Amino acid sequence: MRQHFASNTQGHDYVVGDVHGDYERLTDLLSLIKFDVMVDRLFSVGDLIDRGPASVKCLELLNEPWFFSVLGNHEEMLINAAKDPLEHMGHWEQNGGEWGAELDPTALAHYAAVLAKLPLVITVGEGVSRFNVFHAEFFGDDLALDLPSYTGQVRERLLWGRGLIQNPRKKDLQLGLSTSFCGHTPVKGHQQIGSQIFIDTGCGYANRTGILTIARASDLVFFEG
């Protein structure tokens, strides 16, 4: 459910917004910020796949020792489609998963098994340097986020929730929550509400109208491309 990492004492930790299959844009931006695969780490808020042209390449990032991702709702759609294509494949295709319908069932099952192991939450560091990564939203403090398991309602909110961005007054429900990076809801530029920083800036949509955002976690410097 949750994966914890010690602070990075050798390089920088970055967090990337929803990539949605635009592998080229991601690699271009990593080159721009001079990302060092030997000492830096890249954490993803999920939704690596769908809409863009290179979902498979984005999934292959999970094999890299410097790349770590939480589960997004689009990854969950892939998992559900692999389990029951008749029930879930159509919904996934309607949300950018057309590429999945062309996959060999064995390959689809393989990706589903890999994605099913992704955590819902990543936490990095301790104390004032701590930051959290999840896909959509969370209400509660760090102690609640660190619980060994979540209720179905909390899990649904972590993957699909939009309550905070629709009603910013709910930020009062996040007292005691460390800086938390999330995606899921596209915004025109990175946006902070309460403890959450929304960094899904529309990457992967048709005609490349959106951009990709990467945040440097230590000093909240944002890079776009």
- A 10 A CB-CB count for 118 gives 21
The reported pLDDT for the residue numbered 193 is 97
The reported pLDDT for the residue numbered 127 is 96
Confirm if 45 and 72 have CB atoms less than 8 A apart. Answer: yes
Active site residues: 74
User: What pLDDT digit, counting tens, does each position of 141-194 carry?
Assistant: 999 999 999 999 999 999 999 999 999 999 999 999 999 999 999 999 999 999
Rounded Cα distance between 140 and 223, Å, is: 29
pLDDT level of residue 207 (50, 70, 90 thresholds): low
Measured between alpha carbons, how far apart are the two ends of the chain, in Å?
Answer: 31
Residue 189 CB partners (closer than 8 Å, separation 6+):
201, 213, 224
Q: Give 49's DSSP letter.
A: S
Region 67-82 average pLDDT: 98
Report the amino acid identity of residue 143.
Answer: L
Region 63-76 average pLDDT: 98
Report the amino acid identity of residue 83.
Answer: K
The reported pLDDT for the residue numbered 97 is 96
Residue-range domains of the chain with CATH: 2-72+118-224 (3.60.21.10)
The reported pLDDT for the residue numbered 186 is 95
The reported pLDDT for the residue numbered 23 is 97
pLDDT of 208 > 70? The answer is: no
pLDDT of 209 > 80? The answer is: no
The reported pLDDT for the residue numbered 6 is 98
User: What pLDDT digit, counting tens, does each position of 37-69 carry?
Assistant: 999 999 999 999 999 999 999 999 999 999 999
Region 91-100 average pLDDT: 95
Distances (CA, A) of 98 to 13, 110, 191, 206: 33, 17, 30, 14
